[in-house]
């Protein structure tokens, strides 16, 4: 049961990543998408689009066949120049489109956000879903975006996050596979793939993780750290003995992988996967050629276990443990 529902969210993400989130009925309701496709229709996240008048002929699979007329409720008669008259399932001519407005409405209500904070950022591409207030005055600002592997889309979203003053509190959900490609303007932000964190239930997305988790945030006037990873995630800076080192993209990803790991110990290939690298043999120190001090301060190779361990400084212990 739940496998089927997770699958529906996965299908939804795949459709959202198409430039036009439309699919024909045969592909949606048969084959690999089957169960997930039916679920999306039942949940009314997909709406019927215009019927096609030409489709690839289901008999020869080559020529275009023209829709001639309906035959009963579920069948249509097609005409193919090669095969002549061909009977086909009506689903072949139907199209379904993701209802983006309904989908965003459902995200807003599932996260229990106030609809008044909602805003379309890019045309049918990205949205600010709303702001969630927390105890002790910490707020989180939620965003959803499609096509985030397109740097232009990511840059556009980043501009909005900055103008919302939400760099410290942004939570981004996307239909794009994560991690985002190297060089994305959003590296270091908290970005989750929708299918990885939520499943569909009746009229609601149920989120697996604790969405109330508060992103670490710092007041602006806080003194600069001495030896700390505190500003790695949002600013891309590491501090060693009071000196600020600006991290390169891969350096930041490696540190974040170790910071986010539950015991801060990982094998090289685990770090590689987390960083979205395809290197055959992933050696973290190779990426720290320009910041060797940062590597040696914060990362330690544990020889016997063939693992890398994060070395947490005294001043980071309170928030990074
Ligand atoms: Zn044919």
Domain spans of the chain? 2-98, 100-207, 232-316
Question: What band does 137 get if pLDDT is binned at 50, 70 and 90?
Answer: low
Calculate how far, in angstroms, residue 182's C-alpha sits from the geometric centre of ligand 1: 45
Give Cβ neighbours of residue 14 (< 8 Å, ≥ 6 apart): 175
Give the model confidence (pLDDT) of 261-308 as tens digits: 989 999 999 999 999 998 889 999 999 988 999 999 999 999 888 899
Cβ-based neighbour number of residue 296 at 10 Å: 13
Near ion ligand 1, which residues have CB within 5 Å? 57, 59-60, 63, 80, 82-83
How much is the pLDDT for 136? 62
How much is the pLDDT for 2? 43
**How many whole angstroms separate alpha carbon 229 and alpha carbon 126?**
30
Give the model confidence (pLDDT) of 297-320 as tens digits: 999 999 888 899 999 999 898 888
Cβ(144)–Cβ(126) under 8 Å?
yes
**How many whole angstroms separate alpha carbon 74 and alpha carbon 244?**
67
Calculate how far, in angstroms, residue 200's C-alpha sits from the geometric centre of ligand 1: 39
CATH code of 232-316, in short, is 1.10.10
* pLDDT score of 26 more than 90: no
Give the model confidence (pLDDT) of 144-175 as tens digits: 999 999 999 999 999 999 999 898 889 999 99
Residues in the chain: 321
Give Cβ neighbours of residue 214 (< 8 Å, ≥ 6 apart): 134, 138, 140
Calculate how far, in angstroms, residue 60's C-alpha sits from the geometric centre of ligand 1: 4
């Amino acid at each position: 049961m739940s496998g089927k529902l997770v699958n529906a969210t996965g299908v939804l993400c795949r459709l959202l990543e198409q430039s036009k989130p439309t699919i024909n009925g045969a592909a949606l309701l048969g084959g690999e998408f089957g169960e997930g496709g039916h679920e999306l229709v039942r949940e009314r996240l997909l709406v019927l689009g215009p019927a096609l008048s030409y489709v690839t002929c289901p008999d020869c699979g080559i020529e275009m066949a023209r829709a001639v007329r309906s035959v009963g409720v579920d069948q249509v008669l097609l005409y193919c120049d090669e095969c002549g008259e061909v009977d086909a399932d009506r689903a072949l001519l139907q199209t379904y489109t993701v209802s983006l407005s309904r989908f965003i409405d459902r995200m807003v209500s599932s996260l229990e956000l106030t609809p008044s904070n909602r805003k379309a950022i890019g045309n049918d591409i990205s949205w600010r879903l709303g702001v969630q207030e927390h105890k002790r005055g910490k707020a989180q600002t939620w965003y959803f975006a499609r096509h985030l592997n397109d740097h232009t889309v990511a840059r556009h979203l980043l501009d909005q996050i900055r103008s919302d003053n939400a760099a410290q509190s942004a939570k981004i959900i996307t239909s794009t596979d994560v991690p985002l490609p190297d060089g994305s303007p959003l590296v270091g932000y908290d970005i989750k793939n929708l299918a990885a964190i939520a499943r569909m239930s009746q009229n609601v997305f149920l989120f697996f993780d604790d969405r109330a988790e508060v992103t670490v945030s710092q007041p602006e006037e806080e003194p600069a750290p001495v030896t700390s990873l505190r500003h790695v995630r949002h600013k891309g800076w590491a501090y060693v003995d009071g000196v600020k080192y600006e991290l390169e993209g891969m350096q930041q990803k490696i540190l974040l992988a170790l910071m986010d790991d539950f015991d801060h110990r990982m094998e090289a290939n685990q770090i590689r996967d987390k960083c979205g690298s395809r290197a055959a043999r992933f050696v973290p120190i190779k990426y720290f050629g320009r910041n060797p001090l940062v590597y040696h301060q914060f990362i330690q190779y544990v020889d016997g276990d063939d693992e890398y361990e994060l070395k947490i400084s005294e001043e980071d212990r309170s928030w990074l443990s």
